[in-house]
Structure formats: C-alpha cells, structure tokens
Amino acid sequence: MTIAEMLTQSGILTVLGMCVVFAFLVILIGCMNVLRVVVHALKLDKEEPKAQTPVAAAAPAVDEKAIVAAIATALHEKN
C-alpha cells in the first residue's frame, strides 16, 4: 500500500467520521425539538407557584455576638 493510498483512505475515513457525528447531532437536535413540542402539548412546562416564605424564616439564625467575638479575635491575632 503506497503513501498516496493510505492518505486517500485516511481522508475518506475522516470525512465519514465527521458525517456520522454530524448526522448524530442532527438526530439529537430533532429529538430535542420533538420532546419540546410534546412537553408543551402536555402542558408539563408550567411550574407551579411555590409558597412564599418570609426572608427571616428562610435565613438561618445568626449569633451576632459570636461573629463579633470571632472578628475581634482575628484582629487581635493579626496584631
């Protein structure tokens, strides 16, 4: 097998591999579009409203004295 034949075969194999990947991507995009249409038709894309929680209830309790003590300790250690 000559170098020219090997280069021809490698070029064909490269183009064939790129075509396979491109075809897979086209099929994947098509499936995603079909799935989008099905989800929209079945009205599964609507999020239900969540119950509003007060900000104070969502945030964890903070011990401000402990924070001040930690900052003071860090400043004392630095000096």
Q: State the Cα–Cα distance between residues 59 and 68, nearest whole angstrom.
A: 19
**Average pLDDT over the chain, rounded to an integer:** 87
pLDDT of res. 59: 57
Q: State the Cα–Cα distance between residues 66 and 78, nearest whole angstrom.
A: 18
Q: State the Cα–Cα distance between residues 28 and 23, nearest whole angstrom.
A: 9
User: Tokens standing for 68?
Assistant: 């001040």
pLDDT in tens, 56-72: 555 566 788 888 888 88
pTM: predicted TM-score of the whole model, two decimal places: 0.53
Share of the chain above pLDDT 70, in %: 84
Interior CA angle at 62 toward 57 and 64, to 5°?
Answer: 145
Beta strands in 1-79, from DSSP E residues, in sequence order: none
pLDDT in tens, 28-44: 999 999 999 999 999 88
Share of the chain above pLDDT 90, in %: 52
Stated as kind and residue range, the H or E segment containing 75 is helix 64-78
Q: State the Cα–Cα distance between residues 66 and 41, nearest whole angstrom.
A: 54
